[in-house]
């Protein structure tokens, strides 16, 4: 608890973990139910869920590339190793 950087990292990762659960559990059900309730049919609900996962993957990849670029520009290799 005395290492502030580690505590902040731990809280951030816990939040990220909770958000991942939302993407993989709650959002697909909500999207599928909304599309089916709009009268587009069951198959459209499945297509909408697939599109949700595709967009989620693209956002994750784009974010990871930017984060990696930022980390590479953040300093010396020794400093980057300590930050990770």
In order along its 84 residues, the chain shows pLDDT tens digits of 788 889 999 999 999 889 888 878 888 899 999 998 998 887 898 899 999 899 989 998 988 888 878 777 776 666 555 544
Measured over the CA atoms of residue 21, residue 25, residue 31 and residue 33, the dihedral's sign is: negative
User: In the chain, how many domains are there?
Assistant: 1
- Domain assignment of residue 40, given as a range: 4-83
What CA–CA distance (Å, rounded) separates 49 from 32?
Answer: 6
What predicted TM-score, i.e. pTM, was given to this entire model? 0.60
What CA–CA distance (Å, rounded) separates 25 from 41?
Answer: 21
């Amino acid at each position: 608890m005395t290492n502030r950087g580690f505590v902040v990292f731990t809280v951030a990762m816990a939040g990220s973990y909770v958000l991942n659960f939302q993407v993989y559990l709650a959002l697909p059900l909500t999207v599928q139910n909304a599309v089916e309730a709009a009268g587009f049919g069951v198959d459209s609900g499945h297509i909408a869920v697939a599109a949700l996962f595709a967009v989620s993957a693209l956002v994750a990849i784009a974010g990871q590339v930017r984060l990696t670029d930022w980390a590479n520009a953040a300093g010396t290799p020794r400093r980057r190793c300590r930050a990770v």
